[in-house]
């Protein structure tokens, strides 16, 4: 396969016109050619490391077939790698998700456990009945090779006792749903944790006498997940964060749930009732619950909110998430990399998705 006369956007080498050749699952040649114009934009396929479901599929009760459908749906939003994300649940429920997603393959890179080892005070839309402290005994059961990412609160009992175990298992720890103050964030950062879940939702606010979770995320060298649906974060908040942190430290996510890409209505999330109205998902008490965002819309929003370059957009939509999870053979448009690509028009609307060298959308 050869993509000719395109604008190539690589997160490292930047933007240039040329051709991309693909053989089998890999990119075999990238030619820089000084075209006067181009038809489409080629970027690395999008990566969503925080998503609970989509189009009627709910991670917590998805069958193997559902996971497969989810991956296929995701191609239509440009997503070529994703990490289904659980919510706080019983051990058995988590084990069921791991079992059902085990041999699906496709674009599923692993599982993200968002909870259950989080703060009750900052539970957001997580079901409080399942929130608990981590123990090595439970981790030995639920931390299989599939688990790539876990969101935890540093103030939960045992937190600092289990992080070495998680590192040994190559699980990346992300701080989230936490009431921790600056000192605790600093301690966690100094323990090697460099990541914050859906900034700055479910974190303590920036205060001028204690900068809190929000301030710590901005002040220390953390990578930040961000939901750019225009609901969770205001346009100015996204732009301010981009100006402060730069494009190397932001990881776009959807945090979507089964109601995403469907009509307004009533849905479920971790056993809780969720209403979707005007694309906004919330619990009965008004708490924002997950999102209805699809990935390519989040990418367009980020570009609109920040006026970043396309090179930067390739970082926040793909490269940063992959590197943070130590996935090194994807996320670039360069010889030898896996041919996971999106082809966009000049409005950044999705034209094609290429997954492992195959046109899948």
CB of 308 to its own copies, least distance (A): 16
Neighbours of 5 (CB within 10 A): 14
Considering only residues 181-200, where is the footprint of its own copies by CB under 8 A? 182, 199-200
Does 249 interact with its own copies (rule: CB under 8 A)?
no
Using CB under 8 A, which residues numbered 155 to 184 contact its own copies?
182
Closer CB to its own copies, 28 or 194, in the complex: 194
295 is an interface residue for its own copies by CB under 8 A: no
The answer to whether 209 contacts its own copies (rule: CB under 8 A) is yes
List 240, 272, 279, 283, residue binding its own copies (CB under 8 A) = 240
Determine, following the binding rule CB under 8 A, whether residue 305 of this chain makes contact with its own copies.
no
Tell me if 122 contacts its own copies by CB under 8 A. no
Q: Which of 184, 260, 204 is nearest to 227 (CA)?
A: 260
Asked if residue 35 binds its own copies (CB under 8 A), the reply is no
DSSP secondary structure letters along 12-59: TTEEEEEEEEEETTEEEEEEE---S--SEEEEEPEEEEEE-EETTEEG
The answer to whether residue 242 forms part of the interface with its own copies (CB under 8 A) is no
Closest-CA residue to 289 (of 268, 318, 319) = 268
234 binds its own copies (CB under 8 A): yes
The residue among 240 and 351 lying less far from its own copies, judged by its C-beta, is 240
The count of chain residues that interact with its own copies, using the rule CB under 8 A, is 24
Stretch that binds its own copies, among 61-69, 123-131, 229-237, 313-321 (CB under 8 A): 229-237
Residues marked as catalytic = 255
Among residues 97, 234, 253, 123, the alpha carbon closest in space to that of 176 is found at 123
Decide whether 166 or 217 has the Cβ nearer to its own copies. Answer: 217
Contact status: 219 vs its own copies (CB under 8 A): yes
Considering just the CA atoms, what is the radius of gyration of the chain in Å? 20
Rounded to the nearest 10 degrees, what angle do helices 212-219 and 182-190 cross at?
Answer: 40
**Residue 232 binding its own copies, by CB under 8 A:** yes
Least separation in angstroms between residue 240's CB and its own copies is 5
Give all strands (DSSP E) within the chain, no chain letters: 2-10, 14-23, 26-32, 40-44, 46-51, 53-54, 57-58, 79-86, 111-114, 147-152, 172-175, 195-196, 223-227, 250-253, 265-269, 272-277, 280-282, 341-344, 350-355, 358-359
233 binds its own copies (CB under 8 A): yes
Residue with tokens 């934009």: 41
In the set 237, 272, 300, 323, which binds its own copies (CB under 8 A)? Answer: 237
**23 - beta bridge partners?**
26
Return the number of other C-beta atoms located less than 10 Å from residue 2's C-beta. 11
Contact at 8 Å (CB) between 195 and 223?
A: yes
Out of 63, 129, 170, 210, name the contact with its own copies by CB under 8 A. 210
Please say which residue, 59 or 175, places its beta carbon nearer to its own copies: 175
Determine, following the binding rule CB under 8 A, whether residue 239 of this chain makes contact with its own copies. yes
95 vs 231 by CB, closer to its own copies: 231
CA 5 to CA 17: how far, in whole Å?
7
- CB atoms closer than 10 angstroms to residue 311: 17
Interface residues toward its own copies, by CB under 8 A: 182, 199-201, 205-211, 214-215, 218-219, 232-234, 236-237, 239-240, 243-244
């Amino acid at each position: 396969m050869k993509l000719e006369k395109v604008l190539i956007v690589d997160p490292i080498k930047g933007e240039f016109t040329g051709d991309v050749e693909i053989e089998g699952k890999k990119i075999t040649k990238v030619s820089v050619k000084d075209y006067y114009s181009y038809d489409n934009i080629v970027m690395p396929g999008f990566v969503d490391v925080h998503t609970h479901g989509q189009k009627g599929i709910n991670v917590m009760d998805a069958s193997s077939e559902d996971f497969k459908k989810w991956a296929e749906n995701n191609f239509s939003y440009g997503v070529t790698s994703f990490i289904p994300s659980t919510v706080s649940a019983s051990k058995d429920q988590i084990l069921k998700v791991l079992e059902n997603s085990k041999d699906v393959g496709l674009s599923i890179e692993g599982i993200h456990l968002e909870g259950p080892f989080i703060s009750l005070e900052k539970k957001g839309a997580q079901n409080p009945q399942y929130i608990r402290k981590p123990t090595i005994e439970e981790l030995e059961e639920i931390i299989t090779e599939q688990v790539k990412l876990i969101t935890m609160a540093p103030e939960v009992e045992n937190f600092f006792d289990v992080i070495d175990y998680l590192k040994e298992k190559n699980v990346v720890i992300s701080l989230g749903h936490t009431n921790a103050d600056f000192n605790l964030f600093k301690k966690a950062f100094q323990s090697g944790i460099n990541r914050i879940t859906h900034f700055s939702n479910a974190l303590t606010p920036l205060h001028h006498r204690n900068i809190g979770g929000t301030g710590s995320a901005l002040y220390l060298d953390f990578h930040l997940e961000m939901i750019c649906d225009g609901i969770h974060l205001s346009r100015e908040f996204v732009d301010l964060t981009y100006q402060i942190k730069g494009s190397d430290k932001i990881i776009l996510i959807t945090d979507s749930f089964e109601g995403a890409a469907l009509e307004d209505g009533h849905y479920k999330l971790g056993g809780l009732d969720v209403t979707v109205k005007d694309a906004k998902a919330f619990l009965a008490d008004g708490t924002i619950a997950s999102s209805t965002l699809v990935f390519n819309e989040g990418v367009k929003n980020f570009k609109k909110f920040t006026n970043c370059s396309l090179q930067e957009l390739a970082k926040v939509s793909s490269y940063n998430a992959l590197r943070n999870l130590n996935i090194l053979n994807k996320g670039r448009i360069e010889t030898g990399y896996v041919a996971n690509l999106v082809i966009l028009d000049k409005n950044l609307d999705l034209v094609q998705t290429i997954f492992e060298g195959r046109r899948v959308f």
